[in-house]
């Protein structure tokens, strides 16, 4: 058997120059005449982006991290000797020990990789690789069943939509199957627009045939003859690999007419999005495929009844479709045994933000946040404390330390004021300001709103204005009530999912981090030290050694001082970039909250003592209560 050298070609590793590693390996192997002995492959994503570029050696399973082209010569030495290249093995940060294989790395130990099973192990541009890994096998099974039986099986498995809402997939299919129409369509929603979410892209880049197999199953179940993959144009690698996969599937007879002798005809086309977050909403997506502005329309009628070109259409997310081969492979009962009462199977999360192990993780439903963040994610870097985690992107909510032991499923997250969304999981430490973060999310959703319905267009704009006022130090206490009542009105009255979920980050932050909001409006203080209008940099005279470093590095010349006398920062000129604080070797520069900025100046002069006290309270445990 030829040994395999697998180089990760996911976007994360490509950004860390994995292509150079691949090219260097290729020429080094060829140069030593080893091209025949080793099979070099460029694979999809392993998920452990933090440690990229990754190289895996099979069958031994040696898992090499942060490989650069400079390592290649020695790496090939080790391949020839059949030895391990110790220096490239993953080093457990807790024990300091190096571990040899992927499964020994803590990042992988609590994961359950079903959907991502092939990612990183097969060449996504080769249908042979997918077939060897058992691909397209479930179609034989599916085509022997009646469409109704296929739908029943999906219902029994308890599969729910992975794109956000969590609607039961089998039920959606049943509606479309029963609906009348001379043609029916399957649409794969790959318009993954949530900032900080890249699971759909990784599946398409790493295992595109799995999604095609899922679409074929769905098409057979509802009686569709044609499918579309609506994919972001910002994912060029995924588009290219999908395109190759479709062509290969046609050649092998998995797409086209009379597939596998079943009499079932089905073909798939790619539709590239043109950059609009709202097109992740199914009715907007359909409008976009029809060549219009991607604006949602009221439902009902639901797309399952009246969708693309007014015909019954099922819109399923990439990850949902990628689950289908697993269900028909292991059987509905075995699948339903994974997860919780109401949420079955696994969920892929993109773990990012202030976390040691950034990457893509697949875990069984019902796992706790603590397990994901601390056991898999390795916890918070730089000795900082966990503060919050944003689940579900800009439409989701921020949860606090009190939720760390919450078993995650669709319903528990909704109850806590967040949502599964597409599965973005952004971790925040104590340096993140929850008010500013809510402002950030809202500025995103407002920018992406299509402008069709008033509650979202006007309401979210007003919501954003209030938040901007607060972070600029012009907020008032009644603003907090206004945020809440306006937020709920927007949720109740908006036309589509974008508007209905846009206030979530604000409302959840108000619920779990209210003291922080109150600090901003009452005391004009930003405890996290983020909101610039509420901060100022100051030099402590006693500590300043007049070395001139800060003065030299200030980009706007706001620092003055001579040799031998303490320097000063001119608050009018200071842009608050923080360079001086980073450069000062004596710790003489401090960031102080709330002195003399904004229109609330007179107010907080009066409140100076209480503000200091409030800051102290908050720093010494105020946040711990949450």
Partner 1 sequence: MHTGIDELLEKYWHIPGGLVPLLQEVQKVHGYLSREILEKIASGMGISLAKVAGVATFYHQFHLTPRGRYIIKVCMGTACHVRGAAEVLFAMEDELGIKVGHTTPDLTFTLDQVACLGACGLAPVITINDETYGKLTPGQVPKLIEKYREEAAVVH
Query: Closer to partner 1 at the Cβ: 289 or 399?
Result: 289
Task: Choose one: 82-90, 117-125, 166-174, 389-397; the region binding partner 1 (CB under 8 A).
Answer: 389-397
Asked if 344 contacts 160 with a C-beta cutoff of 8 angstroms, the reply is yes
Q: Which residues pair with 227 in a beta bridge?
A: 186, 268
Q: Report the residue from 126, 272, 340, 368 that binds partner 1 according to the rule CB under 8 A.
A: 272
Task: Choose one: 73-81, 162-170, 317-325, 432-440; the region binding partner 1 (CB under 8 A).
Answer: 432-440
Measuring CA to CA, which residue among 207, 243, 169, 196 is closest to residue 322? 207
Query: Closer to partner 1 at the Cβ: 229 or 614?
Result: 229
473 in contact with partner 1 (CB under 8 A): no
Query: Closer to partner 1 at the Cβ: 233 or 591?
Result: 233
Q: Report the residue from 43, 217, 343, 390 that binds partner 1 according to the rule CB under 8 A.
A: 390
Q: Which two tokens stand for residue 581?
A: 């604080």
191 in contact with partner 1 (CB under 8 A): no
Q: Is 68 exposed, middle or buried (0-12, 13-18, 19+ CB in 10 A)?
A: middle
Interaction residues for partner 1, span 312-341 (CB under 8 A) = none
Q: Report the residue from 63, 64, 90, 444 that binds partner 1 according to the rule CB under 8 A.
A: 444
Q: Which two tokens stand for residue 446?
A: 């407002």
β-strand pairing of 346-353 with 559-560:
unpaired
Q: Report the residue from 41, 117, 354, 567 that binds partner 1 according to the rule CB under 8 A.
A: 354
Query: Closer to partner 1 at the Cβ: 313 or 390?
Result: 390
15 in contact with partner 1 (CB under 8 A): yes
Q: Which two tokens stand for residue 601?
A: 């100046």
Q: Report the residue from 577, 595, 612, 626 that binds partner 1 according to the rule CB under 8 A.
A: 577
In angstroms, the CA 158 to CA 16 distance is 39
> Minimal distance in Å, beta carbon 65 to partner 1?
12
Instruction: State in Å, rounded, how far the first CA of the chain is from the last one.
Output: 56
Strand spans (E) along 119-243: 185-190, 226-231
533 in contact with partner 1 (CB under 8 A): no
Query: Closer to partner 1 at the Cβ: 292 or 489?
Result: 292
Q: Which residues of 87-102 are buried (b: 16+ CB within 10 A; e: fewer)?
A: ebbbbeeeeeeeebeb
Q: Is 257 exposed, middle or buried (0-12, 13-18, 19+ CB in 10 A)?
A: exposed
268 in contact with partner 1 (CB under 8 A): no
Q: Report the residue from 120, 214, 312, 394 that binds partner 1 according to the rule CB under 8 A.
A: 394
198 in contact with partner 1 (CB under 8 A): yes
Q: Angle at CA 200, nearest 5°, toward 199 and 201?
A: 90
124 in contact with partner 1 (CB under 8 A): no
289 in contact with partner 1 (CB under 8 A): yes
Q: Report the residue from 8, 314, 426, 471 that binds partner 1 according to the rule CB under 8 A.
A: 426
Q: Report the residue from 74, 293, 488, 543 that binds partner 1 according to the rule CB under 8 A.
A: 293
Q: Which residues of 313-351 are buried (b: 16+ CB within 10 A; e: fewer)?
A: bbbbbbbbbbbbbbbbebebeebbebbbeebbbbbbbbb
309 in contact with partner 1 (CB under 8 A): yes
Asked if 196 contacts 393 with a C-beta cutoff of 8 angstroms, the reply is yes
User: Which residues of this chain interact with partner 1, rule CB under 8 A?
Assistant: 11-12, 14-16, 49-50, 52, 193-198, 201, 233-235, 271-277, 288-295, 309, 350, 352-354, 358-359, 390, 393-394, 424, 426, 428, 432, 437, 440-441, 444, 448, 450, 555, 577, 579
């Amino acid at each position: 058997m030829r040994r395999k050298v697998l180089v990760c070609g996911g976007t994360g590793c490509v950004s860390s120059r994995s292509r150079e590693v691949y090219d260097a390996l290729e020429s080094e192997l060829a140069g030593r005449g080893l091209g025949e002995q080793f099979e070099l492959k460029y694979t999809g994503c392993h998920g452990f982006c933090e440690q990229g570029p990754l190289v895996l050696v099979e069958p031994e399973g040696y898992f090499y991290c942060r490989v650069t082209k400079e390592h290649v010569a020695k790496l090939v030495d080790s391949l020839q000797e059949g030895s391990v290249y110790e220096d490239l093995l993953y080093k457990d940060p807790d024990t300091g020990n190096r571990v040899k294989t992927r499964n020994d790395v803590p990042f992988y130990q609590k994961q359950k990789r079903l959907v991502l099973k092939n990612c990183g192990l097969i060449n996504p541009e080769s249908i042979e690789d997918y077939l060897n890994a058992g691909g397209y096998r479930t179609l034989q099974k599916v085509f022997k069943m009646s469409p109704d039986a296929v739908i029943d099986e999906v219902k029994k498995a308890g599969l729910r939509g992975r794109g956000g809402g969590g609607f039961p997939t089998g039920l959606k299919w049943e509606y479309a199957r029963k609906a009348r129409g001379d043609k029916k369509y399957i649409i794969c929603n790959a318009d993954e627009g949530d900032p900080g979410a890249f699971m759909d892209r990784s599946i398409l880049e790493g295992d595109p045939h799995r999604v095609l197999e899922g679409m074929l199953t769905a098409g057979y179940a509802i009686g569709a003859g044609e499918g579309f993959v609506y994919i972001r144009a910002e994912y060029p690698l995924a588009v290219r690999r999908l395109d190759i996969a479709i062509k290969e599937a046609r050649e092998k007879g998995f797409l086209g007419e009379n597939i596998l002798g079943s009499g079932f005809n089905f073909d798939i086309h790619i539709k590239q999005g043109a950059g609009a977050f709202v097109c992740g909403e199914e009715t907007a997506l359909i409008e976009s495929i029809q060549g219009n502005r991607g604006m949602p329309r009221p439902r009902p009628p639901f797309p399952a009844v009246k969708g693309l070109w007014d015909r019954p259409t099922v819109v399923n997310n990439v990850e949902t479709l990628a689950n289908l081969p697993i269900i028909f492979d292991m059987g509905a009962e075995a699948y339903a045994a994974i997860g919780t009462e109401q949420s079955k199977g696994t969920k892929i999360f993109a773990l990012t933000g202030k976390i040691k192990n950034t990457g893509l993780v697949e875990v069984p439903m019902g796992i706790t946040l603590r397990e994901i963040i601390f056991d898999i994610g390795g916890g918070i870097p730089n000795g900082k404390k966990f503060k919050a985690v944003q689940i579900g992107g800009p439409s989701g909510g921020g949860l606090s330390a009190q939720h760390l032991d919450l078993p995650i499923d669709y319903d528990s997250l909704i109850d806590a004021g967040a949502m599964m969304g597409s599965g973005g999981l952004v971790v925040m430490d104590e340096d993140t300001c929850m008010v500013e973060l809510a402002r950030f999310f809202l500025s995103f959703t407002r920018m992406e709103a299509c402008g069709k319905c008033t509650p979202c267009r006007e309401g979210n704009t007003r919501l954003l204005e209030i938040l901007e006022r607060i972070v600029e130090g012009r907020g008032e206490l009644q603003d907090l009530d206004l945020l809440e009542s306006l937020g709920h009105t927007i949720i109740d009255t908006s036309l589509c999912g974008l508007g209905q979920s846009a206030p979530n980050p604000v409302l959840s932050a108000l619920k779990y981090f209210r003291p922080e909001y109150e600090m901003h409006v009452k005391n004009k203080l930003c405890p996290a030290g983020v909101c610039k209008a509420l901060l100022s940099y100051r030099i402590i005279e006693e500590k300043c050694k007049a070395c001139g470093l800060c003065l030299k590095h200030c980009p706007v010349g706001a620092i003055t001082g001579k040799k031998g006398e303490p320097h000063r920062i001119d608050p009018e000129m200071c842009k608050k970039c923080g360079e001086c604080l980073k450069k000062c070797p004596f710790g003489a520069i401090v960031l102080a909250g709330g002195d003399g900025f904004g229109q609330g100046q007179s107010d907080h002069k009066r409140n100076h003592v209480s503000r200091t006290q409030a800051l102290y309270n908050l720093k010494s445990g105020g946040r711990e209560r949450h």
